[in-house]
Chains A and B, each alone.
Chain A
Amino acid sequence: MTLELRQIEKTVGMDVHIHPTDLVLEAGGFNILLGTTLSGKTTLMQLMAGLDRPTGGRLYFDGKDVTGMRVQNRNVSMVYQQFINYPNFTVFENIASPLRVARMGDAEIKKRVGAMADLLRLSPMLDRKPAELSGGQQQRTALARALVKDSDLVLLDEPLANLDFKLREELREELPKLFADRNCIVVYATTEPIEALLLGGRTATLHEGRVTQFGPTGDVYRNPKDVISAKVFSEPPINTAVIRKTGDRVALGSVAHWACPAVLSDKPDGDYRIGLRPHHVTPIAGGAEDGRVKISGEVLVTELSGSESTVHFKVGSETWVSLAHGIHSFGVGEVAELYADLSRAFYFGADGALIAAQEIGE
């Protein structure tokens, strides 16, 4: 099963909502759209579903052109961030509703709804109305409704965003299991990098209506092809700064300088950009011999979560973040000595494209 977007675009008046996009989505594993609010995730999903018509490009399902085909004629389910259920229907009737529309027999409906309720732990609530349920149960009802018919395409638009932290953790673990033995294409939109990582599958990073990178989730995270993809896929945000290469040295302003890394050695002198994820800048001391360089900066604030310490500090005109295990407390205004693990650094060119990362372990 494949859904193919060929040069799909969407403009509204003078505004480009989605730039021409090519994307091939397959069944098995989640296809994740990762990006901030207004990056185009929802628009892209609506175009995939046929809820919205593209202003250019074609959409193919299993090789068949479905561009402009109405959503009613496609076999699609969608779950939104807000828990959308029929308030006057019981949980049972909510879950059964797509089957009623499809004129399925009562016995088969009962069987399917029962199985779905079991899977989503809603069996004791089948006779209740949505308003009598917790948020997690309401969203599970919406999920059950989306799953009860065998859709070819299931679109989940930030389905966990309105749930409590712990519930989110729990449902995030359940979701991939629900789809494990189904033959359908699942698209999942999220603003949270950690959610994309834990769901696995493949991830498309989105920024201002453009898919900047698409591939297996872990690969996109570890090998971002440009500075924008790296920023989209980093939480806390990735630290970046302009560095200058002069001969066999590179310098980050007057903050630090080190031996020119191999990836830059055959590049001309001039300005480049370094990217370091916060957990690769830590108070753990080290030197050139273990690939570290000291980065000192004035501390803006330290946050201690009990297991980890987050230090926000100034590096030239940029604000950097350090994230380390354990308790490392720095006072506001203090100059902290932090150490960047250069073996984990990304080097980008002036155009933002990755030059090449240093060798990455694992």
Chain B
Amino acid sequence: MARITLDKLRHSYMETPAADADWALKQVDITWDDGGAYALLGPSGCGKTTLLNIISGLLRPSQGRILFDDRDVTAFAPDQRHIAQVFQFPVVYDTMTVYENLAFPLRNRGVDKATTDKRVREVADFIDMTHRLDERAKGLTADGKQKISLGRGLVRTDVNVIMFDEPLTVIDPHLKWELRSKLKELHQRVRLTMIYVTHDQTEALTFADKVVVMNEGEVVQIGTPVDLFERPQHTFVGHFIGSPGMNVLPCTVDNGTVYLGGDAVAVANDAAGAAGGSLEIGIRPEFVRFAESGLPAHVVKVSDAGRHRIVETRCADQTVRMLIAEGVEIPADGVQLAFDRANTRLYADGWMVGGNSVAGGAQ
């Protein structure tokens, strides 16, 4: 296993990139510590697959370096990097048995029979496939095949990093829970460096100790799940993480006081630091509640999400969503809303006013 450093990486698929938009990766500096569980999270087209391909060596970056510990591997071919990868769709040899599939990466590298056998059985036990080792992979369901793919990713012990590229997308929700917690459990036991690439916030947040959030070729924030939830540095992070995402409400600031419509709203950061630009209040639906006196609003729609309800309100001509727990009554019309001050923040041009830089809690 190794510490992985991405040093001033930039990449463009064009020959002579000029404009900012020509860069698929604008500039990325990240250090992933040895043995950590990381996620790379962002929407389609944010550059996460480009970054993954650069780390695995399938793509040579236009600029910058990749270091494994202190060794520069930028010019290394994929097979010289000792990386295990698990893809979105199962990569399984149908004609081989489950055992042979799991053994394949080891046999390929001339690992001796006894060691191979031991590893295959350990991994099979982990993915609950011990009883099916002699079956042909062909007869397995999509879930079963993806388990074999995971197993093959985990079977080598000499890898620098294991990378997962949307590994659970084709898996049913019930099994997703099972496989995801298995991966997490495995990580807590063996402490391998793992990088998990996904657009699914739940997978990223529950798997990783630290999440790298990307948008439009840039890293927007690196932090623990709690950082990203409680202190989004950018409205994109606030919106992208959480379901529904953070309410982002255009506002005005006068003399250090923040106003939503005509009403003053107390915020946690120092509004006086806002030097113009487009100003917005960010507050998560979890931190809005009904109050005796507060911002006047009316309820537009209540959606039942089972363990809570998502209440859509109109407040100061804007949509404000709130999460209301099971059993809490929703007042009829003419409601008042209170924003929890500690979790209400002012953003200027998307960035939290007085916030840290992108890599706030990077290392």
Contact = CB atoms under 8 A, between A and B. Distances in A.
Interface stretch (B94-102, B151-159, B239-247): B239-247
A115 to B, nearest CB: 24
B286 interface: yes
Contacts of B173: 36, 191-193, 235
Interface in A232-252: 235-237
A77 B202 CA distance: 33
B181 A303 contact: yes
A165 B201 contact: yes
Contacts, number: 109
A164 B42 CA distance: 9
Contact of A321 (B177, B241, B327): B177
Nearest to B228: A306
Interface stretch (B59-67, B301-309, B334-342): B301-309
Interface in A279-304: 279, 300-301, 303-304
Given A193-B306, A277-B307, A279-B307, A305 B202 contact: yes
Interface in B7-25: none
A305 B185 contact: no
B185 A300 contact: yes
Interface string A300-328: 11011111001010000000010101010
A67 B272 CA distance: 71
A312 B184 CA distance: 11
Interface string A159-186: 0000011110100000000000000000
Contacts of A37: 141-143, 172
A108 to B, nearest CB: 34
Interface in B149-188: 172-174, 177, 180-181, 184-185, 188
A197 B306 contact: yes
Given A37-B172, A191-B172, A306 B225 contact: yes
B230 interface: yes
B257 interface: no
A114 interface: no
A256 interface: no
B172 A36 contact: yes
A135 interface: yes
Contact of A332 (B180, B188, B240): B188
Contacts of B241: 306
A200 B303 contact: yes
B318 interface: no
A191 B176 CA distance: 12
Interface string A326-362: 0100001000000000000000000000000000011
B44 A361 contact: no
Interface in B227-263: 227-230, 239-245
Contacts of B243: 165, 169
Interface string B113-145: 000000000000000000000000000011100
B45 A134 contact: yes
A361 B239 CA distance: 32
Contact of B174 (A237, A304, A307): A237
A221 interface: yes
A98 interface: no
A166 B303 contact: no
Interface in A71-122: none
Given A191-B173, A277-B307, A310 B206 contact: yes
A153 B184 CA distance: 44
Nearest to A232: B174
B226 A327 contact: yes
Interface of B: 43-45, 141-143, 172-174, 177, 180-181, 184-185, 188-189, 199-202, 205-207, 224-230, 239-245, 284, 286, 303-307, 310, 325-327
11 contacts: A166-B43, A193-B173, A193-B306, A197-B306, A300-B185, A303-B207, A305-B206, A325-B325, A332-B185, A332-B189, A362-B327
The 7 closest A-B pairs by CB, nearest first: A306-B229, A303-B206, A306-B225, A305-B205, A279-B307, A301-B185, A164-B199
